[in-house]
């Protein structure tokens, strides 16, 4: 065991402690799989990452991503937060305009827009879920069939069952049975679309906690409300989820449900103010971006 540089980053927010925290061990060399998994269980954050030298010539660094329950090939908020930590620690990209991260899902390109980072969403595979799975998940979420507008299995590394619900209000009111979701072994992402001419503000009038977390100006441009339930990997509800937002964007923009540029909100039911900036460029590449801020900077003995 030795001292290793360590940061804890809050992702998808410019305000400390309002987004999704990420633990980043900036030197993961000589750590075993068990060492990494054990530390990820100890942090008990939705994800913990370990930075390693790349093995691909075009990559700037390699990262391994762990939840409390296992390793992931790719995840969005760890991608943004690890890149933020690597740059802040003095990392120098090989290319002037982008950073290339190597992970188990392959090479992920990130770009800088001022101080905000965005990752290029990996290719999406999607398919219709089985009626049996959909019925069981709906029961675990307390949803009626008429409240589900559309459903897709979304795979961009992590696999999510994506549900488009009838209203954002339905999304925010969910009180899932997390034990049932864990037994099903399926991560579930739910979303509701705000009409372009409708303010989302009335949705938070019910809860003083939500009202404290958001101001009118912060919510004025939000088009999508998102929640992510990941009980099968030891996280009942993830505060802000990049991989899910990426796959939702690829699905819903392709199907004409959302414009090619929009702002998503996630985390409000946990008292967070996650903001996810989504854009699809002329080459049809979806970029998922957000602010990141360092909350803890020091070392860890591993």
Q: Rounded to 5 degrees, what are φ and ψ at 254?
A: -60, -35
Neighbour tally for 245: CB within 10 Å: 28
Quote the CA–CA distance of 36 and 297 in Å, as a whole number: 19
Report the greatest alpha carbon distance in the chain: 57
Judge whether 72 and 79 are in contact, CB under 8 Å: no
Q: Is 210 a catalytic residue?
A: no
Which among 47, 210, 225, 237 is annotated as catalytic?
47
Contacts of residue 51, Cβ cutoff 8 Å, sequence gap at least 6: 24, 25, 26, 27, 28, 61, 62, 63, 82, 85, 86
Q: Hey, which residues are catalytic here?
A: 47
């Amino acid at each position: 065991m030795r001292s290793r540089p360590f940061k804890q980053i809050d992702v998808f927010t410019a305000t400390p402690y309002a987004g999704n925290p990420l633990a980043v061990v900036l030197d993961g060399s000589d750590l075993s799989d068990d060492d990494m998994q054990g530390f990820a269980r100890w942090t008990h954050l939705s994800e913990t990452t370990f930075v390693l030298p790349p093995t691909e010539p075009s990559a700037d660094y390699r990262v391994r991503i762990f939840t409390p329950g296992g390793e992931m090939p790719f995840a969005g908020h760890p991608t943004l937060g690890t890149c933020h930590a690597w740059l802040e620690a003095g990392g120098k990209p090989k290319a002037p305009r982008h950073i290339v991260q190597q992970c188990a899902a392959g090479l992920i390109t990130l770009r800088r827009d001022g101080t905000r980072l965005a990752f290029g969403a990996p290719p999406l595979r999607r398919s219709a879920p089985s009626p049996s799975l959909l019925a069981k998940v709906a029961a675990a979420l307390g949803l009626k069939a008429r409240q589900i507008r559309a459903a897709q299995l979304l795979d961009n590394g992590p696999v999510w069952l994506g549900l488009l619900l009838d209203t954002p209000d339905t999304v925010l009111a969910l009180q899932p049975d997390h034990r049932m979701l864990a037994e099903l072994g399926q991560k579930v992402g739910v979303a509701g679309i705000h009409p372009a001419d409708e303010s989302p503000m009335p949705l938070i009038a019910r809860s003083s906690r939500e009202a404290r977390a958001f101001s009118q100006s912060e919510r004025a441009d939000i088009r999508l409300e998102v929640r992510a339930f990941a009980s099968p990997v030891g996280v009942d509800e993830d505060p802000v989820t990049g991989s899910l937002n990426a796959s939702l964007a690829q699905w819903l923009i392709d199907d004409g449900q959302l414009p090619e540029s929009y702002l998503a909100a996630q985390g409000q039911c946990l008292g967070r103010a996650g903001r996810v900036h989504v854009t699809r460029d002329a080459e049809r590449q979806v970029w998922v971006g957000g602010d990141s801020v360092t909350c803890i900077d020091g070392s860890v003995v591993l």
